[in-house]
A and B are shown apart, each in its own frame.
Chain A
Amino acid sequence: GAVVSQHPSRVICKSGTSVKIECRSLDFQATTMFWYRQFPKQSLMLMATSNEGSKATYEQGVEKDKFLINHASLTLSTLTVTSAHPEDSSFYICSAPGREGYTFGSGTRLTVV
């Protein structure tokens, strides 16, 4: 089945630094990748949609200059959290359309200290 590999699974970074999260589609091509954020005890909230070869579209309230998305190939999409602050600490999850529904990455637990 379709697999999305997400890396890293967890990261701790200092406030003010940047963190890159990668999502790779392993056995299929993902022209679209969805990026979600999930705070503790809450549901997944869509942050942005990335499309291979074009600019990402961001949901209302999500700063595009802070959450940089690159989808340069059909198998790789990256999310970079720039100048991270403690309030950016969250669980970040990517997702791509697969054969049956959408396939989700395993998530990245970001902690900003």
Chain B
Amino acid sequence: DAKTTQPTSMDCAEGRAANLPCNHSTISGNEYVYWYRQIHSQGPQYIIHGLKNNETNEMASLIITEDRKSSTLILPHATLRDTAVYYCIVRVANNYGQNFVFGPGTRLSVLP
């Protein structure tokens, strides 16, 4: 699986959009970009994933650059409950025999 790099930490004001970047310059054509988050002392929670088109769901939007070498997770209106570690992971989809490899992620602090 391609390696990703994310900032160690970010702050965001409550109610504002949180934009979390991820670089994955060695991503392969069949690898998806997945985002998970982990709130303190809980298991990781799936947020969103995409291949090359931008994606949006009830939690977030995922913007993938045209060359697919980087992406941004957008939480449109961050709340205090969005404070968590956010993990960007790239991997082949539907490869159920392979685990997700977690890097250090980005620690997002939403400030009141």
Contact = CB atoms under 8 A, between A and B. Distances in A.
A34 B99 contact: yes
A27 to B, nearest CB: 15
Contacts, number: 53
Contact of A93 (B34, B43, B103, B104): B43
Nearest to B91: A101
B45 A44 contact: no
Interface string A85-106: 0000001010101101111111
Contacts of B87: 43
Main secondary structure of the interface of B (DSSP, over half): loop
A104 B36 CA distance: 10
A77 interface: no
Given A43-B103, A43-B105, A46-B101, A109 B41 contact: yes
Place the interface of chain B in its size category. Answer: 20 to 34
B16 to A, nearest CB: 27
B42 A102 contact: no
Given A43-B103, A95-B100, 7 more contacts: A31-B96, A34-B100, A44-B102, A95-B43, A95-B44, A98-B46, A104-B45
Interface of B: 34, 36, 38, 41-46, 49, 87, 96-97, 99-105
Q: Which 5 A-B residue pairings sit nearest by Cβ, starting from the closest?
A: A104-B43, A97-B96, A44-B102, A34-B99, A43-B102
Interface of A: 4, 6, 31-32, 34, 36, 43-46, 49, 91, 93, 95, 97-98, 100-107, 109
